[in-house]
Every structure is written in structure tokens, then in C-alpha cells.
Structure 1
Amino acid sequence: MVRPLNDGHDFVFQLGGHAPRLSVGPGEQFTVFTEDCFSGRLTSVDGRPREVAPYPKVNPLVGPIAVEGIKAGDIMAIRLHRLEPARDWGVATISPNFGFLSGTRASPNLQAEQEERVWIWCLASDRTELTTQTSSGRTLRAGYRPFHGTLGVAPAHGEVRLGVVPGDFGGNFDIPDLTEGATLYLRANIDGGHIYIGDGHYAQGDGEIAGTAVEGAFFTTLSVERATADESFDWPRLETESHIGVI
């Protein structure tokens, strides 16, 4: 059964520390609306990312979602069945002191601070391609490759972690493999698991070199099941049709 969740306004920005908003059964398919990392507020090239989504109010997450029968210590298999774009456009940005194009507080370098810029990418009606216009009028094209940047569970020991960081609880991975048909395995740290998901992307290379991907909103259908017990399991594992890997 597909169950809707979220009216588009009630999001959180941390993993952990929340009462569950929904309880689902093992293997039950359900659908959630997930926002882009700017909460849908960056809609034009004249917008300013830091004004519409000041840190740490970035990467809004849906959740937590409790899974019936899951106990702390269980391994969960979280399957992404469908990522339906909620809009026909996405947004990409460059921001000062964010990403690899300029230094940050955590990784200073000698490059000049980048000018803040925004691109609106339009999704083709056949959902194969994204296009945007440069300031000089040039058209840029990129293949539509939908995936989620953030998927995780409540951390252990009652910790609360921002939705922009990764860890053994999952979190912000920003890897294109987290797409339709993929299964992410995570160990539940509390009963119910408490799953969080968000940070939809319409396209990205191997990483967010400029600081963002083409950020977009989704209606995402997923399901969760208990996986086979494995005492050696201690880090997120991702399975796709072609790869098995540890994140």
C-alpha cells in the first residue's frame, strides 16, 4: 500500500531527537514528499542561497519514520522504488567558502572566494535531460539522473546529528548510486529504526564539487525490511543492480 506523508511544510534538519511521524509495516511501500536542500525557496537566478536557507536550516528531512517490529541492533534494508520529480525544475549554486572551488573554514586554500551564483535547470517533458542558460546566453545540458543525497536513521546513544553530515547512521552521502532500485543497509540504533530522507538531486557528477548538485524535490516511494543478522556489519552498505559497496 502506498501511503502519503508530509504536507510539504513539516520538515526537520537533524537525524535523531524526534518522535516518529509515521509507522509502517515491514515491506510496506509508502510515499513521501521530499524538498530540495533550500526548502523550495530558491526559485530564480536572483535568489541568494544563504538568505533563503541560512545554515544550519539546509537539507530539510522527512521523518522520522518508524518500522514496526524493528529492534535496536537489527539491520534494515531500505529500498528506493520510485523517485518521481515533484517539479519540472531544479537549482544549482555556487556559494562563497562552500565546496571545493574555494576554501572553507574546515579546508582553507589559496583560491579566491567565489561569487555567489544560481542556475535554474529545466527538466524536459520526457525526463531525459536538464537545461539551463548561462549569463552569456549559452545553453548547458545535463542528463537527468535522480537520486537522494540524504538517507539515514536515528544515531546511537541518543545523539542528534545535522542532516548535512554522514556517519555510521547514514546521513548526507551525496552519491548518485542512491537512486531507484538501490537498497541501503543500516543498523537500527533504536527500536523502530526512525528513518529520515531528503536532499533530492536531479543530476550530479561524482561529488558536489561546487557545493551543490542540481537540487530538486521528489515524491519518493520506499519500503523497509529486516535484513539477515550479521554481527560483523558496522557501516552503511549500498546495493544496486550492478554494484555492492560500503559507504
Structure 2
Amino acid sequence: MHSSTPPKNNTRSFSTWHRLLDWAQEHYRYRTFAKDAQIPTRSGLLYLVQRGTIRLNGSAETEPPAYPHQNITPAEFQLQGGDETFLGFVGAGQPFEIVDRSPFTLQAFAHTDNTSIFWMYWHDLENFPSFRREILDSFRYQHQRKLLWLNTLGQRHTIERLLGYLTLLIEEFGEPCKEGYFLPFPLTHAQIASAIGTTRVTVTRLMKELREERKAILIKEDNLICLLSPSQPE
């Protein structure tokens, strides 16, 4: 694991977080979502992940195609990757916001079960001045990670984009295991393909190469991706 791995969010005081949760519940701004449920969002609000993981997708304003022989809902169409780009994750303790930029639409989904969020207006942060500074620092960190992501996507070879992308994800969200660090939630080949600009078939082939030839990753139980430590054999 690289030394750039960010520390877990241990700096926020328990008392501040407890006050925020109490405030959100008192104002009916706290909800828990099942896996793959879409989060109702609107521009101008600040969202904070209290538990679980949020998946961000971007799409153009197009309607799902009509399937005369299949009863496919818009949500199922999104889960199958129709006309959507996977943009990344927001983990517990992190903020996010959805900004409307027609004709593009950003959407948030609960990537794991029992994902809880609460939301507020930006001016509500005036009641929590120290937390406001923390939110701005978190967005600044997210911006720096996006620059690294863009640099990774600029790699000429798809396998380097793939490995760089997995490395960035596991650096940010990974948990230690005996082989190295692993992503604690599943990620489909279709979602990876959407993120790095290739096809699902290509990702499947290159994942096999990373496992069998480069010995860079392994797949743990429940299809969790593990990035092997340099000194660890597969």
C-alpha cells in the first residue's frame, strides 16, 4: 500500500458528529437506504454519508430504450449500465453535492445496504463553524483525488488505466488483509469499464492478466478486489 493512503476519518470529534446527527434527525433530514436505491437529491444541498457507501453516476438526458419483450424499469436500466458513466464513490464521513449541468445529470445510489445520509443547506453550516472548515477541507481533498484520477485516465494503455484506477480506489477505501489491501464492497466489470472508458469484455480480460500474469491483484470472497502488497505472492 502506498504511503499516500489517507487516514480514516478519526479527526472529527464524537461530540460534533453526535450534534450533527441529532440536528439532522430533529429536522427530518436523515434517511437510510437499501443497496442500489437511488438517493433523491437536488442542487444546492450538502449531503453527508453517515454510514455505508454512495455510488455516483453521470448520464446524458436520454430515455431508456423500449424492450418489447422485457419489462425493464429505468432503475434496472441504470444498474445494467445503460448510457451511464460510473464516476466514483463517497464513503462514510465524506460530503458530496449534486450540481445540475444540463444536458448532463448526476445521480447518487446506495452502493451498500443500510447506507445512511443526512443533508443540509450550506447556510446551515453557520451553526457549526469548525465543521464547515472540515467540509471545505474534505472537498479540497476530493478535488486532489480527481486530479489523480484524471492523470490515471490519461494513461495510453488500458491495463495501466485499470491498475491505476483500482489502486486509487483501494488507497481511498481499502481495508487491510493478509495479502495487502482490499476494496470492502463489490465493483462490477461493467462499472469499471464505464469509469476507465473501455468495454466490460476488455476489463474481464485485463483483470485476468492482472491476476495471473502480473500477480498484482486477487479476488477474495464475495468478488472483493484485493491489491497485493509488492512482497506478497498471490
TM-score (norm 1): 0.23
When Rg is computed on C-alpha atoms for both structures, the one with the higher figure is 2
Compare the two structures and name the one with the higher helix fraction.
2
TM-score, normalised to structure 2's length?
A: 0.24
Higher relative contact order (CA 8 A, sep 6+): 1
